[in-house]
């Protein structure tokens, strides 16, 4: 299945399995634009930008996303040109249901039907995610994921999408990175509603997992002959050294940030250690006994893995302020490994082997579930520095980044990991939450000064060859 060739002869050194998924990932709020167009309701990002525009880099909000809503046909042609055989996008809940519930928006249905059909026409399989940080504003007004009723409304939305699009969409995902709304919205104040409340964070995390399980239950009841999963950003927690306290600290970080979503999604149960931790600190969520059966019986078929950087942990060095808000960091400190390789633009460590460690963990401890790399990418500032006379950005650093990670994915496949594809974040430069367009991630550049004009970067041309050759 996997062969090795002499790279100096121009042959493949790393060849991937037949029918490997090559593509990229995106999200509705970051890519579509048309924030108030054709009956779309406001989500929390639209509202926050209206009320606190200074929170956003250079005052650029989601109204200035990458115009996929108008340019999807052109963009899908470029996807084909850059080698995509698959593409993950999210459906905007508030575009489908302006208030999160009620009458479905026919113009939204038409748009997503057109996107799905256009992708299929170009030989690109649609992978569809249902929730990517974009809570409808009316749902947030009643508490968002804090409120159990929102689980019910979400499941209604999911069921509607399955029924409308499930005849053509055969890869579904309930959430993208459910830890992010928890930590950014309810622990560290980075995203709306910008709270620092551990109890609410736990409840939001729990209801997110319950909503995922309920959506999976409904999907399987419809017998649509597809697969449904979840996208989790798995950030391996590496202890500074073998000292027991460093290892204990890294285990706590892993429990809170990784296993709190991975275990219920794949195994159908929460880790005993996590339950004991929450109980000991009086932070168990409100739940009903029947929920645990729902979670147990409705596990995922397919795991999407987002990987960007490692988490390096050491034992706590100082006693926390007893009057400060309860935080995970009361149990560990972050550790900067000497000699680490960095992406200075994003401030993240580049550690390619981390993607292999994640995949081996999934193989050894999670039944070797079918999985794929659903996001991996490199954000860089001011890429115009690398433009040539033809207007093409020579982003060799991105090509090296992808190669470095794919080498470790290849090694994992050789060792029997059931990994089926690699999706880059992202297809084209997009609006990125609070950072707007500060860091560019795309295979295709977006020129904001020329009505969002697209231009394939060097990495996009290289990615096309990667997919055509099924390796490099």
Instruction: Confirm if 194 and 185 have CB atoms less than 8 A apart.
Output: yes
For residue 307, give both structure tokens.
């990987």
Instruction: Look at residue 1 in the predicted model and tell me its pLDDT.
Output: 32
d(CA 162, CA 419): 25
Distances (CA, A) of 472 to 56, 376, 406, 407, 420: 39, 17, 9, 10, 17
d(CA 39, CA 51): 21
- Residue linked to tokens 């990991």: 417
Instruction: Give the number of other CB atoms < 10 A from CB of residue 140.
Output: 22
Find the distance separating the first CA and the last CA of the chain, reported in whole Å: 15
Catalytic sites, residue numbers: 375
For residue 216, give both structure tokens.
């999976």
Instruction: Confirm if 330 and 281 have CB atoms less than 8 A apart.
Output: no
pTM comes to 0.95
pLDDT tens string, the chain, 472 residues long: the values are: 333 333 444 578 999 999 999 999 999 999 999 999 999 999 999 999 999 999 999 999 999 999 999 999 999 999 999 999 999 999 999 999 999 999 999 999 999 999 999 999 999 999 999 999 999 999 999 999 999 999 999 999 999 999 999 999 999 999 999 999 999 999 999 999 999 999 999 999 999 999 999 999 999 999 999 999 999 999 999 999 999 999 999 999 999 999 999 999 999 999 999 999 999 999 999 999 999 999 999 999 999 999 999 999 999 999 999 999 999 999 999 999 999 999 988 889 999 999 999 999 999 999 999 999 999 999 999 998 999 888 899 999 999 999 999 999 999 999 999 999 999 999 999 999 989 999 999 999 999 889 999 999 999 999 999 999 999 9
Which of helix, strand or coil describes residue 365? Answer: helix
d(CA 317, CA 298): 41
Question: Which residues make Cβ contacts (< 8 Å) with residue 294, sequence separation at least 6?
Answer: 210, 213, 214, 217
Instruction: Look at residue 10 in the predicted model and tell me its pLDDT.
Output: 58
Question: Which residues make Cβ contacts (< 8 Å) with residue 195, sequence separation at least 6?
Answer: 185, 186, 187, 189, 201
Distances (CA, A) of 319 to 244, 280, 331: 18, 19, 10
* C-alpha neighbours within 13 Å on the C-beta side of residue 70: 12
Q: Which domains does the chain have, with CATH numbers?
A: 21-469 (3.20.20.80)
For residue 231, give both structure tokens.
């996208």
d(CA 284, CA 269): 15
Which of helix, strand or coil describes residue 217? Answer: helix
Instruction: Look at residue 12 in the predicted model and tell me its pLDDT.
Output: 85
- Residue linked to tokens 């231009």: 455
Instruction: Confirm if 86 and 127 have CB atoms less than 8 A apart.
Output: yes
CB-neighbour burial class of residue 109 (10 A; exposed 0-12, middle 13-18, buried 19+)? middle
Instruction: Look at residue 230 in the predicted model and tell me its pLDDT.
Output: 98
Instruction: Confirm if 344 and 269 have CB atoms less than 8 A apart.
Output: no
Instruction: Give the number of other CB atoms < 10 A from CB of residue 309.
Output: 18
DSSP 331: S
pLDDT in tens, 290-336: 999 999 999 999 999 999 999 999 999 999 999 999 999 999 999 99
Per the DSSP assignment, residues forming a β-bridge with 454 are: 446
DSSP 259: I
d(CA 304, CA 234): 10
């Amino acid at each position: 299945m996997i062969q090795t060739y002499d790279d100096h002869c121009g042959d493949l050194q790393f060849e991937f399995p037949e029918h490997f998924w090559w593509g990229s990932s995106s999200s509705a709020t970051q890519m579509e634009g048309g924030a108030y167009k054709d009956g779309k309701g406001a989500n929390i990002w639209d509202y926050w930008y209206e009320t606190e525009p200074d929170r956003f880099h250079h005052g650029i909000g989601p109204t200035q996303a990458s115009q996929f809503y108008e340019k999807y046909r052109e963009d899908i042609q470029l996807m084909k040109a850059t080698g995509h055989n698959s593409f993950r996008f999210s459906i905007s809940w508030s575009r489908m249901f302006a208030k999160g519930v009620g009458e479905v928006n026919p113009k939204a249905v038409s748009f997503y039907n057109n996107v799905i059909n256009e992708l299929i026409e170009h030989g690109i399989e649609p992978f569809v995610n249902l929730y990517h940080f974009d809570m409808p504003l009316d749902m947030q007004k009643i508490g968002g994921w804090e409120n159990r009723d929102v689980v019910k409304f979400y499941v209604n939305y999911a069921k509607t999408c399955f029924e409308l699009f499930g005849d053509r969409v055969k890869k579904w995902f309930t959430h993208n990175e459910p830890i992010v709304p928890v930590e950014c919205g309810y622990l560290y104040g980075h995203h709306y509603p910008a709270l620092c409340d551990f109890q609410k964070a736990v409840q939001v995390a729990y209801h997110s997992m319950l909503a995922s399980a309920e959506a999976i239950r409904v999907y399987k009841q419809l017998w649509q002959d597809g697969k449904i999963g979840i996208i989790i950003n798995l950030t391996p927690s590496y202890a500074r050294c073998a000292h027991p306290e460093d290892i204990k600290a890294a285990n706590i970080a892993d429990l809170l940030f990784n296993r709190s979503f991975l275990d219920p999604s794949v195994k159908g149960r929460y880790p005993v250690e996590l339950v004991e931790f929450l109980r000991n600190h009086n932070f168990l969520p409100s739940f009903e006994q029947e929920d645990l059966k729902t979670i147990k019986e409705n596990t995922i078929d397919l795991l999407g893995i987002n990987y960007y950087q490692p988490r390096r942990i050491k034992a706590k060095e100082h006693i926390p302020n007893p009057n400060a808000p309860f935080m995970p960091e009361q149990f560990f400190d972050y550790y900067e490994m000497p000699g680490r390789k960095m992406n200075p633009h994003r401030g993240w460590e580049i550690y390619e082997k981390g993607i292999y460690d994640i995949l081996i963990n999934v193989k050894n401890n999670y039944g070797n579930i079918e999985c794929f790399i659903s996001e991996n990418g490199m954000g860089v500032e001011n890429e115009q520095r690398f433009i040539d006379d033809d207007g093409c950005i020579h982003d060799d650093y991105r090509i090296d980044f992808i190669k470095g990670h794919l080498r470790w994915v290849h090694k994992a496949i050789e060792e029997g990991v059931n990994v089926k594809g690699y999706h880059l974040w992202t297809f084209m430069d997009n609006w990125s939450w609070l950072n707007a367009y500060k860091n560019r991630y795309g295979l295709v550049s977006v020129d904001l000064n020329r009505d969002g004009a697209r231009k394939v970067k060097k990495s996009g041309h290289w990615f096309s060859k990667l997919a055509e050759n099924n390796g490099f």
